[in-house]
Chain A
Amino acid sequence: DIQMTQSPSSLSASVGDRVTITCRASQRISSYLNWYQQKPGKAPKVLIYAASSLQSGVPSRFSGSGSGTDFTLTISSLQPEDFATYYCQQSYTTLYTFGQGTKLEIK
């Protein structure tokens, strides 16, 4: 299995802050990396696919980068609605795996 490790596991930030979340794969996965946002009681929502492509309808303050084993999700200026849990997911192998999640909280 490809293990996905996110850091940090939790993060406190303020509205307007720039935030970066990191995801590391246990082996090279090219650009087969997706990012999701999940709010309490709701299904995950895809933000970024293929490491850096912005899903239609997602605000441009979200961006993704990386390839190989190291990836980042950046929120350029946090908005109140961005406080949620974020997951990375690899789709390089059919045994799709998710990171453990990063909970973004209001400072």
Chain B
Amino acid sequence: QLQLQESGPGLVKPSETLSLTCSVSGGSLSDSYYYWGWIRQPPGQGLEWIGSMSYSGSASYNPSLKSRVTMSVDTSKNQVSLKLSSVTAADTAVYYCARQGRYTSGRDFDYWGQGTLVSVSS
């Protein structure tokens, strides 16, 4: 059974860089049939797609965040990472990593991590 687990600091200071890691178990990050994505959800609000990346490093980002976002993959560790720079309070959210079908008819996010809350505060 595929499992995804987000990890990283729960508190980040304004203007600093948020760094999260998603560890994948029960499956391979190198599976070419999937993308690996990040989605966030501010407290009490809806879902916002941040970006998606293939195992080879090909990435797509939300244009509203693109200037601040970097995603990377480490296939040897089966991990996907997210960095978001110059954070403000508006970046406070639960951050989810998720697997996305690359060639499926829905290109849906079919497996999700449990999410990790990141608060931006001094």
Residues of A within 8 A of B (CB): 31-34, 36, 42-46, 49-51, 53, 55, 87, 89, 91, 94-101
Contact = CB atoms under 8 A, between A and B. Distances in A.
A98 to B, nearest CB: 4
Nearest to A55: B110
* B-side interface mostly: loop
B108 interface: yes
A91 B47 contact: no
A98 B49 contact: yes
Interface residues of B, number: 22
B47 A49 contact: no
* A-side interface mostly: loop
Interface string B80-122: 0000000000000000101001001111111011110000000
A98 B106 contact: no
B63 interface: yes
B26 interface: no
A34 B106 contact: yes
B112 A50 contact: no
Nearest to B47: A98
Contacts of B48: 98
B60 A43 contact: no
Nearest to A47: B108
Interface in B7-37: none
B113 A46 contact: no
Contacts of A46: 106, 108-110
